[in-house]
């Protein structure tokens, strides 16, 4: 889990959230509790989309580093500053697993048909399964 800086603008009944390290990632809600929940969900979805599209996930900046950014100082004027937890993709790790032979052939055929590597196919299948379990 990583902590991502979120800017919260607005007043009761109309709040908006944005993320300085993820331009374009925004959401809104009527109350702060809902806003934080929606912001965490939206940011996770946004990051997953970046990964799926092959867009590099930006390096997260500390609040001190952000304060040195003139654009952040301008955007954060009058805003509340918070933190949202998000799972960011990490580096790929080689693993050794055992799979029944005919299942492995089926996986390889499906991965090839989808234009994916075996690893990419298995990772996507795991993400889909984990998402369904959540």
- pLDDT, tens digit, for every residue of 41-86? 999 888 888 887 888 888 899 999 999 999 999 999 999 999 998 8
Give the pairing of strands 2-11 and 80-86: antiparallel
Same domain, 67 and 116: no
Question: By C-alpha distance, which of 52, 54, 44 is closest to 6?
Answer: 44
Cα separation, 22 vs 88, in Å, equals: 12
134 — pLDDT class (breaks 50, 70, 90): low
Q: State pTM to two decimals.
A: 0.66
4: Cβ–Cβ under 8 A, 6 or more apart, which residues? 19, 21, 22, 43, 60, 83, 84, 85, 86
Same domain, 30 and 56: yes
In a domain, 50, yes or no: yes
Q: Which domain holds residue 125?
A: 101-133
Same domain, 127 and 61: no
Same domain, 106 and 82: no
Same domain, 81 and 15: yes
In a domain, 41, yes or no: yes
How many domains does the chain divide into? 2
CATH number of the domain enclosing 19: 3.30.160.250
């Amino acid at each position: 889990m990583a902590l991502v800086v979120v800017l919260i603008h607005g007043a009761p009944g109309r709040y908006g959230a944005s993320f300085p390290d993820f331009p374009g990632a925004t959401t809104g809600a009527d109350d702060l509790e809902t806003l934080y929940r929606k912001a965490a969900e939206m940011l996770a979805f946004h990051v997953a989309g970046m990964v799926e599209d092959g867009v590099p996930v930006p390096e997260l900046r500390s609040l001190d580093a952000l304060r040195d950014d003139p654009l952040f100082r301008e955007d954060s004027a009058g805003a509340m500053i918070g933190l949202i937890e998000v799972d960011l993709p990490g580096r790929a790790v080689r693993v050794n697993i055992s799979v029944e032979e005919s299942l492995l052939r089926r996986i390889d055929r499906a991965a090839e048909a989808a234009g994916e590597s075996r690893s990419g196919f298995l990772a996507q299948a795991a993400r889909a399964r984990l998402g369904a379990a959540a």
